[in-house]
């Protein structure tokens, strides 16, 4: 993708993000303030890119799954499983490396399970992943013993609340993961093959694509992203909360992908746009907290904003926006000419 | 079937004979959805063991039909009394009537039902409003007349603990004009959300410099918020006072470390008062009050938090 | 005429599905509608029943023009339809299915007794003795068909359209259904009957109308046409002049370097068959729709892997477990249904062209962007693919250009054996000729090709030999002078000939 086509692809998301930021700063004018204290950057934008880490990570994997015309409802529960595994490993004294390895392996195994159900047994993705969505939290509770499993490891906690040259570690993790996955799918042929099976699985198989293995790999990718998100959520509160870790985040992740302009019918995808979608959602969440409305309004405000965004991005509405944009361009050109 | 009838008649006989001690009591628990619930189960079992009671335990896994089935089975077994922590408030009339017919006293734990009070012996529970009031009153004395801007972490929006604990706290600080709740948001009773919302409070209130105290509707949110305060470079417990409710083990660690200031106990020991009431009833027919309110005890840094932590950490929280 | 059309025209983007079709149905006749896939039968039916809106032309019911906007409206006018897949609700009772939407009610409440009585009454005369209170699914498909017919007749009552009603019935059930159909004909209904089973068509029909490529070809009384004529009409002989010059280069390969299929087949799809494919050879495959042509191709390509036999070439056994291994062995397959099995509509022309090659190379070795561009431009020029640029989504191209993109995809893998299933169906004459020329080109370079086609002249023009498939068996192989439209037609039509007899 060349620079200009990429820009055209993510333009709606950039505009939406800008609009949401402007809206929030109306209620909270100090939005843009970023200061550097105690070796860390502090400010609302920093909060957004830190708090948005779990959804951003989930959105990376979810984008690929959705590109294959699938969906992964289990990521929230997988977060809980992987967070619990990591906390358990630390608690057992296995050390940070082993804990991360076990959490990552748990995520990959969960993805393998989903992928096999979808690719080999032909179960509809929404049903296949629903199984783990429901059962996964139970598995996580078994690991934590039903309590909030706390641990004492500053190294591990660093992943949730530490900073690197002032930037929160969760932010570093999601940006690096996004770049990593982006390079993986665009510098190899994976992206093309994933889009191909998403548009037409049968034709792709007949063209020689190993669609089963590819589908499984995509669900495993999603599981791995969920593992990273689970590790961050667990490290953040220094404890694995099997009941609440990642609760309902699968829905936010799907929403991020949709706001990112990716079709639920599969095919063309953009990880970058999904990440922008995740940041849009997080800006809304943080904005609601800052605005100081009573809690009862939180979900309503979020829902209204999401509806407005989706309507503005809908195929019915886009032509009007483009028309408006072209008019604006023309009138600004004429104004320029008049000025000269 | 024959066996059951036989057992039931034996039980009725033993009740009629007024045999004290070695009682059999059925306990229908909701499930183990939270650490507190697990602790309640543990404490109830411990209490029964101490008193030499034969406790028949049944886990309903959040389903009323399981609870009703458990109660019927207890009635058929002819237990001496039944403890039940009802999962919902409605739909208990017929099974409670069956228990009454079998002359088996029923004690409600922790939650109420919509049935006629005649159908159960008594209910043991905490007063959520009272808990909030205790926390508020503590803050009034701690603030000592100085200006104090409070941020509040609410429970899940619309849940009765969130509504009542908010109401109680406001009652507790009523009349103290120096104390003002400046921000109030839901933290969904979870650590993650407690931390996230506290971060936004700190941002919005001048990096936390304008916040004097935090009131959290449960300890878990307070634990999350304490981390947020620390990460913002402030000292929880000193720069920002922290008061919360529940008294779970982790908050005692924070109290011991000087990072929290006070917690109001929601005791998991509902069974103790229930067994007391039953003993009195079996001994001489003393009818207890229809509602036995558990103590909402306040713990501060002065109340040996390290010891309290040791005492609680194995209760299953 | 009970129901007729005048110059009925309907087009979809890229194709004209119905081109000024005239059709007439009399009261009291069974009128068969015949044609290969894509001939326009289902489009005609959908226009008659209001499922599609026509572009132009008239539909006349008893001489008066009608404009049905939905199947419900068509039903109200008097036109009822029963599809191959029964369109009823299997978990409701027979009575509920029959009376759904017009149940007898009192004060808004359904009266079960009256409903059952009505249902019994509707079923009277169909020779069914069933309990209308039982769920529909507890009866056989044949009974369900008849229930569907009873409902359609009750609601519409003048014209009954039966779309492939016998596809999932056994012989006895077919007779049961035909008894009902004859009875309805006796009651004065006009019945349109669509079927691929020619025996059944001849048994039940009074008249035949043949469509081909969206055009009305002929209408005859059934008694005046024989099987041979009918198949000739269905398959058509339009290309005679255009491809009369036969260009057939010599087969360059020997039997030593051939690919030998021995006893390959797939239970329930195609009986085991032998096939030897030499270098530079074009093998034609002829047969009616559903005869086992596509099934043969799928076995040869590993899309539906063979469950018997062996495949060998000069280097030993060839692995055809799945398309991937077939492609690795140098096979390629352009399927019959381009839309569902061929193109990746949303992806660009460039991506569609490089797809098979990229899949063979593996994900870790992407074809460089510049190389992709060069290949795409090269094939766009070589095959004369009409597209503004290589980045246009292939779904927006016309059928012929889509077919060329798929050919380009396979040529890019430089296969030794290319299977083409109906390569020229539904594409315009110009593209048609170009594709035939392309076949000749690549064969001259030593590629082997299997062409499946309903266009007999086309087969004759390009093939060195022709295999005829009937009833899911390879029944004969025509070589040399026997490769002519007439012999092929005779082999397809011969009801009970065997391979030996034909040879």
Q: Are strands A163-164 and A167-168 parallel, antiparallel or unpaired?
A: antiparallel
Pair C292, C217 in one domain: no
pLDDT band at A74 (very low <50, low <70, confident <90, very high): very high
Domains and CATH numbers, chain B: 2-125+268-286 (3.40.50.2300), 128-266+301-312 (3.40.50.2300)
What whole-number distance in Å separates Cα of residue B173 and Cα of residue B141?
10
> CATH says A10-292 is which class?
mainly alpha
Q: Which of A192, A193, A203 sits opposite C340 (nearest CB)?
A: A203
Please give the torsion angle defined by the CA atoms of residues C40, C45, C46 and C49, in that order, rounded to the nearest 10 degrees: 160
What whole-number distance in Å separates Cα of residue C107 and Cα of residue B234?
74
Q: Using an 8 Å Cβ cutoff, are B279 and B297 in contact?
A: no
Does B have 3 or more CB contacts under 8 Å with C? Answer: no
**Percentage of chain B with pLDDT > 70?**
93
The reply to whether A200 touches chain B by the CB within 8 Å rule is: no
Q: Report chain B residues whose CB lies below 8 A from the CB of A161.
A: 227, 231
Dihedral sign (CA A273, A277, A283, A286): negative
Which ipTM score applies to this complex? 0.89
Q: Inter-axis angle of helices A3-27 and A271-291, to 10 degrees? A: 10
pLDDT band at C190 (very low <50, low <70, confident <90, very high): very high
Q: Report chain C residues whose CB lies below 8 A from the CB of A207.
A: 323, 344, 355-356, 359, 409
Q: Where are the beta strands (DSSP E) in chain A?
A: 34-37, 40-43, 148-150, 163-164, 167-168, 239-241
Secondary structure of C80-104 as H, E, C letters: EEECCCCCCCCCCEHHHHHHCCCCC
Integer angstrom CA distances of residue A84 from A102, A224, A245, C231? 10, 15, 9, 70
Minimal CA–CA distance to C247: which of C462, C452, C81, C11? C462
Say whether C347 and A196 touch across the interface (CB within 8 A): yes
Minimal CA–CA distance to A199: which of A260, A274, A265? A265
Minimal CA–CA distance to B62: which of A243, C349, A29? A243
Residue from C297, C329, C336, C347 to probe the interface with A (highest A Cβ count within 10 Å) = C347
Pair C314, C181 in one domain: no
pLDDT band at C485 (very low <50, low <70, confident <90, very high): confident
Helix runs in A238-297, H state only: 249-259, 271-291
pLDDT at residue B235, rounded to an integer:
96
B16, HSE (Cβ side, Cα atoms, 13 Å):
7
Q: How many CB atoms lie within 10 A of CB A330?
A: 10
pLDDT above 90 (res B111): no
Q: Inter-axis angle of helices A53-67 and A249-259, to 10 degrees? A: 60
**Number of CB pairs < 8 Å for A and C?**
81
Pair C297, C228 in one domain: no
Q: Report chain A residues whose CB lies below 8 A from the CB of B220.
A: 148, 241
Chains near B (3 or more Cβ pairs under 8 Å): A
Task: Tell me whether residue C98 is in a domain.
Answer: no
Say whether C358 and A200 touch across the interface (CB within 8 A): no
Q: Using an 8 Å Cβ cutoff, are C453 and C466 in contact?
A: no
Most confident of A188-192, A307-311, C78-82: A188-192
pLDDT band at A192 (very low <50, low <70, confident <90, very high): very high
pLDDT at residue B239, rounded to an integer:
96
pLDDT at residue C249, rounded to an integer:
62
- Longest Cα–Cα distance in chain A: 75
Q: Using an 8 Å Cβ cutoff, are B196 and B190 in contact?
A: no
* Nearest residue in chain A measured CA to CA from B314: A147
Q: Report chain C residues whose CB lies below 8 A from the CB of A218.
A: none
What whole-number distance in Å separates Cα of residue C380 and Cα of residue C390?
8
Mean pLDDT of B57-63: 89
What whole-number distance in Å separates Cα of residue C29 and Cα of residue A34?
85
What whole-number distance in Å separates Cα of residue B313 and Cα of residue A115?
40
CB under 8 Å to C307, separation ≥6 — which residues?
C265, C266, C267
The reply to whether A149 touches chain B by the CB within 8 Å rule is: no
pLDDT above 80 (res B9): no
Read off the pLDDT of residues A133-169 as tens digits, 9 standing for 90 and up.
999 999 999 998 878 899 989 999 999 999 999 999 9
Pair C329, C454 in one domain: yes
* Nearest residue in chain B measured CA to CA from A52: B196
* Nearest residue in chain A measured CA to CA from B199: A47
Q: Which of B186, B191, B207 sits opposite A237 (nearest CB)?
A: B191
Which A positions 235-294 lie with beta carbon below 8 A of chain B? 236-239, 241, 243-245, 247, 286, 289-290, 292, 294
pLDDT band at B4 (very low <50, low <70, confident <90, very high): very low
Distance (Å) from the alpha carbon of B204 to chain A's nearest alpha carbon: 6
Pair C157, C295 in one domain: no
Kindly list the residues of chain C whose beta carbon comes within 8 Å of any beta carbon in chain A. 301, 303, 322-324, 327-328, 333, 335, 340-347, 351, 355-356, 358-367, 409
The reply to whether A38 touches chain B by the CB within 8 Å rule is: yes
What's the number of domains chain C is made of? Answer: 2
Pair C333, C200 in one domain: no
Pair C453, C497 in one domain: yes
Task: Tell me whether residue C249 is in a domain.
Answer: no
Which of C237-251, C337-351, C371-385 comes out lowest in average pLDDT?
A: C237-251
Pair C183, C67 in one domain: yes
**Percentage of chain C with pLDDT > 70?**
92
Pair C353, C405 in one domain: yes
Question: What residue numbers bound the domain in which C142 lies?
Answer: 3-91+135-235
Enumerate the domain spans of chain A.
10-292, 293-340
pLDDT above 70 (res B16): no
Q: Which two tokens stand for residue B168?
A: 């109680």
The reply to whether A25 touches chain B by the CB within 8 Å rule is: no
Q: Which of A188, A206, A209 sits opposite C303 (nearest CB)?
A: A206
Say whether A237 and B316 touch across the interface (CB within 8 A): no
**CATH classification of the domain holding C173:** 3.40.50.300
Task: Tell me whether residue C243 is in a domain.
Answer: no
What whole-number distance in Å separates Cα of residue A238 and Cα of residue A261?
35
Q: How many CB atoms lie within 10 A of CB C178?
A: 17
Mean pLDDT of C52-81: 90
Which of B87-96, B154-163, C184-193, C286-295 comes out lowest in average pLDDT?
A: C286-295
Domain final residue pick, C179, C204, C235: C235
CB under 8 Å to C111, separation ≥6 — which residues?
C103, C104, C105
The reply to whether A171 touches chain B by the CB within 8 Å rule is: no
């Amino acid at each position: 993708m060349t620079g200009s086509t990429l820009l055209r692809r993510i333009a709606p998301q950039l505009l939406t993000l800008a609009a949401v930021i402007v809206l929030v700063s109306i209620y909270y004018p100090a939005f843009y303030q970023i200061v550097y204290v105690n070796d860390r950057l502090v400010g609302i934008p920093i909060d957004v890119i830190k708090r948005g880490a779990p959804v951003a990570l989930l959105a990376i994997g979810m984008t690929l799954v959705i590109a294959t015309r699938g969906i992964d409802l289990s990521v929230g529960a997988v977060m809980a499983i992987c967070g619990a595994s990591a906390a358990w490993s630390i608690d057992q004294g296995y050390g940070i490396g082993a804990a991360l390895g076990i959490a990552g392996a748990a995520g990959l195994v969960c993805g393998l399970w989903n992928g096999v159900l979808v690719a080999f047994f032909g179960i509809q993705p929404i049903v296949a992943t629903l199984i783990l969505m429901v059962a996964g939290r139970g598995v996580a509770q078994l690991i934590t013993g039903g309590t909030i499993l706390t641990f004492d490891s500053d190294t591990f906690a660093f992943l949730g609340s530490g900073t690197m040259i002032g930037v929160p570690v969760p932010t570093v993790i999601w940006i690096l993961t996004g770049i990593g996955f982006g390079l993986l799918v665009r510098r190899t042929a994976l992206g093309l093959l994933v889009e191909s099976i998403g548009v037409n699985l049968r034709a792709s198989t007949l063209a020689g694509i190993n669609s089963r293995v590819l589908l499984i790999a995509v669900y495993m990718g999603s599981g791995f992203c969920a593992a990273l998100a689970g590790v961050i959520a667990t490290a953040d509160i220094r404890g694995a909360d099997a009941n609440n870790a990642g609760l309902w985040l699968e829905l936010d992740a799907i929403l991020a992908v949709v706001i990112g302009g990716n079709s639920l019918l599969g095919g063309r995808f953009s990880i970058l746009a999904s990440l922008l979608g995740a940041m849009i959602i997080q800006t809304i969440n943080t904005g609601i907290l800052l605005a100081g409305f009573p809690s009862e309004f939180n979900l309503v405000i979020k829902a209204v904003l999401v509806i407005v965004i989706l309507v503005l991005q809908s195929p019915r509405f886009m032509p009007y926006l483009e028309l408006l944009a072209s008019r604006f361009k023309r009138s600004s050109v004429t104004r320029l000419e008049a000025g000269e | 079937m024959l066996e059951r009838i036989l057992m039931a008649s034996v039980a009725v006989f033993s009740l009629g004979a007024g045999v004290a001690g070695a009682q059999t009591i059925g306990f229908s628990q909701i499930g183990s959805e939270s650490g507190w619930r697990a602790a309640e189960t543990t404490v109830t079992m411990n209490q029964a063991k101490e008193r030499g009671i034969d406790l028949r335990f049944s886990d309903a896994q959040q389903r009323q039909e399981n609870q009703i089935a458990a109660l019927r089975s207890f009635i058929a077994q002819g237990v001496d009394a039944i403890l039940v922590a009802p999962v919902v408030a409605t739909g208990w009339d017929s099974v409670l009537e069956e228990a009454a017919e079998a002359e088996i006293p029923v004690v409600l734990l922790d939650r109420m039902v919509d049935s006629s009070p005649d159908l159960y012996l008594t209910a043991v529970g905490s007063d959520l409003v009272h808990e909030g009031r205790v926390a508020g009153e503590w803050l009034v004395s701690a603030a000592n007349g100085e200006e104090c801007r409070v941020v509040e972490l609410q429970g899940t929006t619309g849940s009765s603990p969130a509504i009542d604990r908010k109401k109680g706290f406001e009652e507790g600080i009523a009349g103290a004009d120096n104390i003002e709740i400046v921000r109030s948001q839901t933290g969904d009773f979870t650590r993650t959300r407690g931390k996230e919302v506290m971060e936004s409070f700190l941002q919005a209130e001048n990096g936390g410099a304008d916040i004097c105290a935090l009131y959290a509707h449960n300890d878990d949110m307070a634990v999350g918020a304490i981390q947020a305060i620390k990460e913002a470079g402030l000292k929880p417990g000193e720069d920002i006072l922290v008061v919360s409710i529940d008294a779970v083990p982790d908050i005692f660690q924070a109290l011991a470390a000087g990072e929290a200031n006070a917690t109001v106990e929601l005791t998991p020991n509902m069974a103790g008062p229930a067994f007391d009431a039953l003993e009195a009833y079996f001994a001489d027919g003393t009818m207890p009050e229809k509602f036995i309110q558990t103590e909402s005890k306040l713990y501060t840094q002065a109340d040996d938090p390290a010891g309290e932590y040791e005492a609680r950490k194995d209760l299953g929280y | 005429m009970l129901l007729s059309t005048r110059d009925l025209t309907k087009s979809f983007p890229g194709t004209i599905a119905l081109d000024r079709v005239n059709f007439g149905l009399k009261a009291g006749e069974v009128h068969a509608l015949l044609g290969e896939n894509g001939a326009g039968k289902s489009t005609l039916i959908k226009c008659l029943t209001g499922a599609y809106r026509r572009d132009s032309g008239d539909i006349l019911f008893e001489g008066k023009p009608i404009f049905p906007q939905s199947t419900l409206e068509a039903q109200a006018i008097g036109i009822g339809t029963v599809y191959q897949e029964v369109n009823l609700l299997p978990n409701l009772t027979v009575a509920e299915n029959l009376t759904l939407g017009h149940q007898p009610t009192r004060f808004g409440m359904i009266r079960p007794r009256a409903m059952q009585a009505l249902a019994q009454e509707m079923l009277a005369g169909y020779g069914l003795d069933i309990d209308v209170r039982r769920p529909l699914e507890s009866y056989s498909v044949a009974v369900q068909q008849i229930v569907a017919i009873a409902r359609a007749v009750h609601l519409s009552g003048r014209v009954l359209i039966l779309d492939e009603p016998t596809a999932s019935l056994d012989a006895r059930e077919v007779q049961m259904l035909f008894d009902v159909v004859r009875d309805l004909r006796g009651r004065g209904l006009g019945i349109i009957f669509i079927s691929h089973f020619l025996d059944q068509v001849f048994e039940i029909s009074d008249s035949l109308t043949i469509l081909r490529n969206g055009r009305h070809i002929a209408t005859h009384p059934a008694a005046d046409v024989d099987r041979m004529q009918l198949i000739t009409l269905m398959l058509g002989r339009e290309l005679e002049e255009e491809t009369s010059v036969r260009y057939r280069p010599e087969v360059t390969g020997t039997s030593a370097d051939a690919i030998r299929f021995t006893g390959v087949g797939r239970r329930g799809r195609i009986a085991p068959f032998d096939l030897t494919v030499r270098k530079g050879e074009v093998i034609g495959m002829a047969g009616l729709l559903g005869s086992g042509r596509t099934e043969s191709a799928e076995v040869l390509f590993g899309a539906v892997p063979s469950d018997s036999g062996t495949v060998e070439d000069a280097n030993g056994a060839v692995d055809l477990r799945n398309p991937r291994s077939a492609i690795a062995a140098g096979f390629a397959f352009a399927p019959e249904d381009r839309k569902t099995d061929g193109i990746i509509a949303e992806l660009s022309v460039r991506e569609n062209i490089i797809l098979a090659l990229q899949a063979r190379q593996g994900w870790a070795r992407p074809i460089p962007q510049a190389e992709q561009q060069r290949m795409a431009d090269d094939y766009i020029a070589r095959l004369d693919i009409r597209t503004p640029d290589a980045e246009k989504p292939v779904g927006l191209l016309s059928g012929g250009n889509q077919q060329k993109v798929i050919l380009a995809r396979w040529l890019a893998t430089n296969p030794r054996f290319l299977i083409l299933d109906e390569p020229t169906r539904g594409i315009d004459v110009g593209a048609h000729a170009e594709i035939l020329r392309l076949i000749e080109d690549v064969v001259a370079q030593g590629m082997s090709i299997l062409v499946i086609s309903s266009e007999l002249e086309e087969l004759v023009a390009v093939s060195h030999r022709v295999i005829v498939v009937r009833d899911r068996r390879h029944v004969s192989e025509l070589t040399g002078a026997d490769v002519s439209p007439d012999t092929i037609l005779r082999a397809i039509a011969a009801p009970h000939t065997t391979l030996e007899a034909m040879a």
